[in-house]
Amino acid sequence: MSAAPRFELKYRLQLPEYLAVRNALVPHARLDEYSRRGGGRYFVRSLYFDTFGYRAYCEKMTGEHGRIKLRLRSYFASRDEAGFVCVEIKTRSGGLITKFAVHASPEQYDSFIRSRRWLSYESPVLIEFERLARLQDQRPRVLIDYEREAYLPRDGSGVRITFDHRVRAAEAAELFPASPVFRSRDPHVVILEIKTAGDEPSWLQRLARRHGLKAVPNSKYATGIEQTQHAVFS
């Protein structure tokens, strides 16, 4: 399964900025289903892979035109609660991002973490994820947790707008470690992401100008690596 290619713009907001932007957004957008179910936000956890030499991190920092990132994702902090794990391959070509994703059972996840092989290969995403992980010797490097507040536009324009709160990182070799030690560089900063297949709708452009929003590079993975891999990046 793959999502349509999209552009992503990211912004770092202090709490007063977040409140102002969110309040301005409400007339034009509504919380998505998952945010409503979670009382306004939902939990996201991602386990990112990289090579021994941190190839994905280095390509991000040097701005390589074409990049591939492997990650496993859950919406629960406990394996016992998780009914599935998202297996994701995220590709970037210039400013265009495409995500290929499939749900895997907890048993499939257990098998891959233990042996770096899936129990079965019912999806091309599983086949390619395993191939890349083994070919490049990619291993789990960092765990990223946050709370997501997601909005969908009322005009049906297809834009997705998210605010990510309490972003934190821990060095980890699995998605559900027993006692992860999390670190947060800016615990009070809220990450705004705008995802769109093309031009932003006019109301969103006006909102960005009115609030002086300036897009900045903000890779949760790269920041997490810098926070946790002290032997490499200190």
Consecutive 10-residue runs of the chain (234 residues): their mean pLDDT? Answer: 79 96 97 96 98 91 89 96 96 90 97 96 96 96 97 92 97 95 90 90 95 91 86 56
Distance of CA 100 to the CA centre of its chain: 13
Residue 230 to residue 210: CA distance in whole angstroms: 40
Phi, psi at residue 191, to the nearest 5°? -95, 115
Amino acid 3: pLDDT? 67
Q: What is the DSSP string of 11-58?
A: EEE-HHHHHHHHHHHTTTEEE-HHHHHTTT-EEEEEEEEE-TT-HHHH
C-alpha triplet 51, 53, 55: angle, nearest 5°:
65
Residue 197 to residue 227: CA distance in whole angstroms: 32
SS3 state at 176 = coil
Amino acid 234: pLDDT? 55
Q: Which domains does the chain have, with CATH numbers?
A: 6-229 (3.20.100.30)
Amino acid 185: pLDDT? 83
DSSP-based helix, strand, coil % in the chain, nearest 5: 30, 35, 35
Phi, psi at residue 102, to the nearest 5°? -150, 150
Amino acid 197: pLDDT? 86
